[in-house]
Structure 1
């Protein structure tokens, strides 16, 4: 992403960095108090480190590998379920990932785990992962999916950006 409203322009890459930059620039989606901000960043960085297990590991071996390989499917399924359990337990205690308000942590985590919970990433994953075991994660996933901004983003047709 390039912010040309700055001089010199600011170039930002990687999803977590982009989310943090935008939250700080516009003063939204990240708490200003030290505790809320730290909790939000903890979860944002957790997603950056954990998400590849869902996308690069579980997703590849479950949905895309040219032939089934049981060990990697089992290994990445176990890790994915461990992460889903952590999210479910966290969301049992609060409405959003980092606390009482919607933050960049919710945006980052929903993109992988929320969409996985709603079976929008890999066909058959809902049943395979027994996602009914994670009611708080499911409720959060549905609630985030209903947000107007999320709806607009999901409905947008992807167009190349102009120079």
Structure 2
């Protein structure tokens, strides 16, 4: 059994998608980030950076519990644990990891800032909006180019795709016209058609 500390954000969806795709048994412990649950001492013991998601695998290494925070690290851990969606040969693994890191270091943070300044900031700051919309469009272009001639970012469906797609689902918040990025549009539709993804995305706590 895996305990998932979760809220219905793109980062939270990454892990429900992985758990559903890998067929792992899990239970959700909601962390209401709107009410600052992420700052509670019990949660900070698991996720010291006070961010969701985090997991506790009750059947970790040597059959002992292990906690993991940071969505990318969780995806890698689950991929190693199950042997699914995370290849073992070095060439293929590097391909997956570089696109996972691209999401963690670029796509997620930049789109998150786009969401903040476009949708949530009380004061509309044109410079900030333009900066993050421009960077969002650049990142969509990078992804669109990567998807030419292939269905998934690293060849086969992987944890990298599980990390990327939840952020793309909020394209309307990002001032993105998907018709400008046809490969990304088809990619979203392809992954959303997967039953495990549909089930994972149906878990909405935000």
Work out whether the TM-score is over 0.5. yes
5 Å-filtered alignment, 1:38-49, equals: 38-49=94-105
1:112 matched to which residue of 2?
167
TM-score (norm. length: structure 2) = 0.68
Shift of 1:35: 1.2
Is it true that 1:102 corresponds to 2:149 in the alignment?
Answer: no
1:26 matched to which residue of 2?
82
Residue 142 of structure 1, aligned match among 180, 189, 192: 189
Q: Structure 1: any 5+ residue segments left out of the alignment? A: 159-163
Bigger proportion of residues as strand: 2
Distance (Å, rounded) in 2 between the aligned partners of 1:10 and 1:46: 26
Distance (Å, rounded) in 2 between the aligned partners of 1:54 and 1:14: 17
Bigger proportion of residues as helix: 1
Distance (Å, rounded) in 2 between the aligned partners of 1:132 and 1:34: 35
Is it true that 1:54 corresponds to 2:54 in the alignment?
Answer: no
Q: 3-state DSSP class of the match of 2:170? A: helix
Shift of 1:129: 2.4
Measured against aligned partners, the alpha-carbon deviations of 1:84-122 in whole angstroms (never above 9, x if no partner) come to 0000000113110111x1100000001112x134x4xx2
CA RMSD, 1 decimal: 1.3
Q: 3-state DSSP class of the match of 2:152? A: coil
Shift of 1:155: 1.7
- In the alignment of these two chains, the number of paired residues is 148
Distance (Å, rounded) in 2 between the aligned partners of 1:8 and 1:150: 29
Structure 1 consecutive aligned stretches of length 4 or more whose deviation exceeds 2 Å: 128-131
Distance (Å, rounded) in 1 between the aligned partners of 2:178 and 2:163: 20
- Inter-CA distance 58–157: structure 2 relative to 1 (3 Å threshold): closer
Q: Structure 2: any 5+ residue segments left out of the alignment? A: 1-54
1:4 matched to which residue of 2?
58
